[in-house]
Amino acid sequence: MYIKLIQLQKERSEAMPNKPLSELRPKERGRVVKVGGEGGVHRRLLDMGLVSGSEVEVERVAPLGDPIEIKIRGYHLSLRKEEAINIQVEVE
């Protein structure tokens, strides 16, 4: 039973490998599925073109993983780790 559950979980995560943008490594690409964050931050992320469906690629990650630089809609955007944690992406 337990093994089955693990297997099920594994299959699910393989089918939908969603993870926070903060966990992507440089050169990894993905598609935004969900943008979190509070009020102003949330709105700002949407304003910068981070909406569900947009393609992102991680360019560089600073030491200690903060901030990260991503490529989106043909331009470069720097994000704090705390902002990137709230952005769920589907990894290609």
Looking at the Cβ atoms of 55 and 92, the one nearer to another protein is 55
- Of the candidate residues 20, 37, 49, 67, the single one contacting another protein (CB under 8 A): 49
Looking at the Cβ atoms of 40 and 63, the one nearer to another protein is 40
Site for another protein in 10-39 (CB under 8 A): 39
Where residue 82 falls (left for φ over 0; alpha for ψ -120 to 50; beta otherwise) is alpha
Residues in a beta bridge with 45? none
Residue 59 CA to residue 61 CA, distance in Å, equals 7
Q: Which residues bind another protein (CB under 8 A)?
A: 39-40, 43-44, 47-49, 73-75
